[in-house]
Chains A and B, each alone.
Chain A
Amino acid sequence: MDDGRYAIRLHGVTKRFGRRTAVDDLDLDVPRGSIYGLLGPNGSGKTTTIRMIMGILLPDEGTVSLFGGEPEVRRTRVGYLPEERGVYRKMRCLEFIVFLAEIRGVARAEGRRRGGAWLERLGLSEWADRRVEDLSKGMQQKIQFIGTVVHEPDLLILDEPFSGLDPINQDVLEEIVRDFRERGTTVVFSTHLMDQAERLCERVCLISSARKVLDADLRELKASERRGVVAVEFEGADGWLDAPEIDHVRRVDGTVHLLLRDGGDHQVVLERAVGSGARILSFDLVQPRLHEIFVRHAGVDAVGDAGLPERGKT
């Protein structure tokens, strides 16, 4: 049944904790060599799904397979960054990285060489021989990230990799993820930051309340969104907003976002607005954002707080 095109396959996976169902009958196919985003609000089941992929939790029902089956590949070919970060605080940074490489089958000398190169790339060279506990939280997170990738895995599973990083380091991390993609590594990451997912992912899966709501190729998804969005700034009359071409109006700061109906022509909308006496300051055709697509497909409730800026989550 597996033809090797998929790095991860989940089939009918269900996980319950007591009476609460954390993941409900989930099917998931992650194509090899893709960047796959697992999206959804907090508590929707992303982390539980990832932990089942990693074999940390066993599903109550359903099957999980990696690279067509063998569970042993987890131990050497996968790099896993858990949501709750953990390090050996008393270890020296490079030693910690070498240790993580060693338990996945990389010789110590090679681990040392790669670890040094990674520390260099992330600007942490001078910290190589310091204890992990001496580093700031963000730096510790980078050390842990190096530990996740140092054995050059075929599959990277990153649970909320961007949380707790400043924007500059988020960019660095994004770049690294793209590099791995270039080398053919499959990357699965969970996030509740839609912007990040939109920039990085080739395929996204939206999970809400333990169920999969949407699972699609991002480009196809966007292409299928024939309906446009118009961002308008205007003064004066607003009666034209009731025009039949407009499906939904959303006010964002000083701007009004108009979601057009299928086949609705923005040119007609502009004419109506001008005709009604409104003074148009700007009129932009914009791409629908992932958030808007999700809302359209799944409703506001399903998307929840996903996509909103992070609020002090650790």
Chain B
Amino acid sequence: MWRNVWAVVRREYLQRVRSRWFVAATIGGPLFMAALFVVPAYFAARDESASRELAVIDGTNVLYERVALRLEEAGWSVSEQRWHADVVTELRGAAAAGEIGGFVLLDELTLETGEAILYTTERPSTVRHFSMRSAIARAALEFQLEQRGVDAEAMLEGGELEIELLGGGGSDMEEPRFVVAYLGAFFLYMVILLYAVSVMRATLEEKTNRVVEVIISSMKPWHLMLGKILGVGAVSMTQMAIWLLAGVLLFATGLPMLVSAQPELANLADLADVLPGAGLLALFVGFFVFGFFMYSGLYAAVGAMCSSDEEAQQAQLPVMVFLIVPIVMITGVIEDPGAPLSVGLSLFPLFTPILMWGRVAGGHVPAWEIALSFALMLLTVFAIAWIAGRIYRVGILMAGKRPTLPELWRWIRAA
């Protein structure tokens, strides 16, 4: 048996991985994602040709060190100018001559309200404007807080709220991260749908071009179906592994390089903070694998019972609903992961990959719930394989009209 299944897996895998589509999507995917983050930041930072030389006139005599530090982090080179009567006139001349990009005047008002004045020949870009403003305001705030003996650093980082769950038994996952929960849920939805539909298309293609008659005469339909699903599954894992690797490379080497070359992009580095850890990533892969096996079985059955693309488009709708419903509900579930409704829905196996992911990534879920959800999904995989296998066996060789529900029931019951 496994020899045949393996032959089908191998054929399916090699043919897909060698296709232009695979190469394009695998390389293009990460590039697209990278472009999505980098390009806007790059352009926002770049639309300015003025010199990065900046003079700072510190009228307060206490802020220069702090302001200079922050401004240099944001990519300026800063020089200090002592205050004297002609300094503004001199610096105006230097700016007009292009020797410096401009100069900043700090005074008592800066200490009180964070206000300062930038003299420049060219209106700064939004990003520069914002980063300079926050550098100055922050320096002033830090100074004021430290005057009162406050740990300004920790306070300005946003403090920390430690959670102690009462009653114990809480799973020790990473901190809740809403972005990860949302993006992950949508990504799960996309990849499960994408690859499950691939299984349907492959089945349909085999059926419509009749090659299946020859294959089925040499192997059991169930083996063919299993081979197809495993083959497409292997392709999906390959593709995701490449994406993951590309992502790691991007954040580990690409991003630091980019930031050092373009200091204005420093805020991109903050993205690294929201990345999920290894535990969450493993769960993500788990949800994908189980989701894929459940839905690819259903989609294989849909493919086997149809005889044209148009027919399949319609017939897949009842299956697709089970993927769309959790996407519609994901917001509510992430916002209130502990509500009984959230718990219940996320334990419904066909919803589990997306909803349980949302709960796990967005908040703390007891380990036993996660374990239970996987157990339920496993049972569902077997149940779907049994039912879909029966539909597949009859449908794959059937030509003509799509079966009605009673007919489908007969197919399933037929020995």
Contact = CB atoms under 8 A, between A and B. Distances in A.
B209 A75 contact: no
Interface in A83-124: 84-91, 95, 99-100, 102-105
A86 B214 CA distance: 8
A100 B19 contact: no
Nearest to B6: A102
A89 B214 contact: no
B218 A90 contact: no
B7 A99 contact: yes
A100 B217 contact: no
A82 B7 contact: no
A103 B215 contact: yes
Contact of A103 (B206, B210, B212, B219): B219
A86 B213 contact: yes
Interface in B293-336: none
A90 B19 contact: yes
B267 interface: no
B213 A91 contact: no
Interface string B193-215: 00000000000001001111111
Contacts of B19: 90
B4 interface: yes
A210 interface: no
Interface residues of A, number: 29
Interface string A57-99: 1000000000000000011101011101111111100010001
B210 A56 contact: no
B217 A85 contact: no
Contacts of B216: 56
Given A91-B15, A99-B7, A86 B217 contact: no
Contacts of A100: 214, 218
B259 interface: no
Contacts of A74: 217-218
A163 B309 CA distance: 29
B11 interface: yes
Contacts of B209: 86-87, 89
Contact of A80 (B3, B15, B217, B397): B217
A239 interface: no
B213 A103 contact: no
Given A74-B217, A82-B213, A147-B214, A103 B4 contact: yes
A55 interface: yes
**Interface core residue of A75, A81, A103, A148 (most chain B CB under 10 Å):** A103
A56 B15 contact: no
A188 interface: no
Contact of B210 (A75, A86, A95): A86
A57 B19 CA distance: 34
B78 to A, nearest CB: 61
Contact of A86 (B8, B211, B219, B397): B211
Contacts of A82: 210, 213-214
A251 B94 CA distance: 114
Contacts of A147: 214
Interface string A121-149: 00000000000000000000000100110
Nearest to B207: A86
A54 B210 contact: no
A90 B209 CA distance: 12
A75 B217 contact: yes
Contact of A85 (B4, B210, B212, B218): B210
Interface string B1-21: 001100110010001000100
A76 B218 contact: yes
B15 A88 contact: yes
Contact of B218 (A57, A81, A89, A104): A104
Size category of the B interface is: 20 to 34
A78 B15 contact: no
B210 A84 contact: yes
Contact of A88 (B211, B213, B397): B211
Contacts of A90: 15, 19
A204 B214 CA distance: 25
B215 to A, nearest CB: 7
**Interface core residue of B3, B212, B215, B217 (most chain A CB under 10 Å):** B217
Contact of B397 (A56, A85, A104, A148): A56
Nearest to B14: A95
A76 B7 CA distance: 14
Contacts of B3: 102, 105
Contact of B213 (A56, A76, A95, A105): A56
B210 A102 contact: no
B217 A54 contact: yes
Interface string B216-249: 1111000000000000000000000000000000
Interface string A246-266: 000000000000000000000
Contacts of A57: 397
A20 B357 CA distance: 54
Nearest to B8: A103
A132 to B, nearest CB: 10
A75 B211 contact: no
A190 to B, nearest CB: 15
A75 B217 CA distance: 6
Given A87-B209, A91-B15, A56 B7 contact: no
Contacts of B217: 54-56, 74-75, 78, 80
B15 A103 contact: no
Contacts of A104: 218
Interface string B167-181: 000000000000000
B218 A84 contact: no
A107 B95 CA distance: 79
Nearest to A147: B214
A16 B134 CA distance: 82
B17 to A, nearest CB: 12
Contacts of B219: 75, 103
Contacts of B8: 103
A103 B7 contact: yes
Nearest to A57: B397
Interface in B384-414: 397
A135 B212 CA distance: 20
B212 to A, nearest CB: 7
Given A55-B217, A103-B7, 10 more contacts: A54-B217, A80-B213, A81-B214, A84-B210, A87-B211, A89-B209, A95-B11, A99-B7, A99-B11, A103-B4
15 contacts: A56-B216, A75-B218, A80-B214, A81-B214, A82-B213, A82-B214, A86-B211, A89-B209, A99-B11, A100-B214, A102-B3, A103-B215, A103-B218, A104-B218, A144-B214
